């Protein structure tokens, strides 16, 4: 592995560009938090790293395109994975309206695949999606994800994605409707999940 260059930073992780066995790669690491007790910090970082890798693996088994994991260092809380070449979905929706129907259909179908496999992403936004050069929709960042996801978790996933559309895209209503059309055609128990989404929206209005 060669030297890293920071390309992003979240609440708990730093994202760096690197190389792995001659391949362009991404290193995601969870730095130590000095405000936490060292033993607790180590357990949290290692547990969250294991969980993320497990969810990525299960999503791939369900037919969802995710980055390939090259290496995991549980003790350091780091994952080395494929650098996914392609276009950020957020930018496609904002700048290329002619491509919106196809990309939104892909989002809905992919979300249905995850939910049918009992996987919730936990932070679905169009910034966490890449359309690859080969035309696949790749889902990034499963750090907030979970497996054995119930109807409530699936509803929260959809609600978060709708909020992301509303805040990020001028064509939000039309585009998100296309996402949901594809989702409803492909998701198991879609009607029950859609009812739960409306219930979650109602709760959100009164909190």
Picking from 1-10, 11-20, 108-117, 185-194, which range would have the lowest pLDDT averaged per residue? 1-10
Share of the chain above pLDDT 90, in %: 80
Does residue 123 carry a catalytic annotation?
A: yes
Residues 163 and 89: beta-carbon distance below 8 Å: no
Domains, the chain, ordered by start: 5-82 (3.30.200.20), 86-205 (1.10.510.10)
Residue 131 in contact with residue 87, Cβ under 8 Å?
A: yes
Could you read off the pLDDT of 6-21 as tens digits, one per residue? 777 766 889 999 999 9
* Max CA separation in the chain (angstroms): 53
Mean pLDDT, all residues of the chain: 92
Does residue 207 have a pLDDT over 80? Answer: no
> pTM of the full predicted structure?
0.90
Tokens standing for residue 121: 């992403």
User: Catalytic residue among 71, 102, 123, 141, which?
Assistant: 123
Q: Is the Cβ–Cβ distance between 124 and 52 less than 8 Å?
A: no
* pLDDT confidence tier of residue 203, bands split at 50, 70 and 90: confident
- How far CA 53 is from CA of 43, 44, 70, in Å, comes to 15, 14, 11
| Continuous segment of H or E residues that includes residue 132 | strand 129-132
Q: Is 46 helix (H, G, I), strand (E, B) or coil?
A: helix
* Other beta carbons less than 10 A from residue 19's beta carbon: 15
């Amino acid at each position: 592995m060669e030297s890293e260059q920071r390309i992003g930073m979240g609440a708990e992780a730093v994202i760096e560009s690197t190389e792995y066995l001659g391949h362009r790669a991404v290193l995601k690491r969870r730095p130590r938090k000095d405000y936490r007790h060292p033993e607790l910090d180590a357990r949290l970082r290692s547990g969250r790293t294991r969980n993320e890798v497990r969810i990525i693996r299960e999503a791939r088994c369900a037919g969802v395109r995710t980055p390939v994991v090259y290496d995991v260092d549980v003790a350091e809380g780091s994952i080395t994975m494929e650098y996914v070449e392609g276009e950020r979905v957020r930018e496609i929706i904002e700048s290329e309206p002619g491509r919106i129907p196809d990309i939104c259909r892909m989002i809905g179908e992919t979300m249905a695949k995850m939910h049918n496999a009992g996987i919730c992403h936990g932070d679905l936004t169009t910034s966490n999606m890449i359309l690859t050069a080969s035309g696949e929709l790749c889902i990034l960042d499963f750090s907030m994800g979970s497996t054995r996801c119930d109807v409530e978790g699936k509803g929260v996933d959809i609600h978060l994605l709708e909020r992301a559309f509303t805040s990020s895209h001028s064509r939000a209503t039309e585009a998100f409707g296309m996402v949901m059309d594809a989702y409803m055609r492909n998701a198991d128990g879609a009607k029950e999940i859609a009812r739960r989404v409306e219930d979650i929206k109602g709760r959100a209005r009164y909190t």
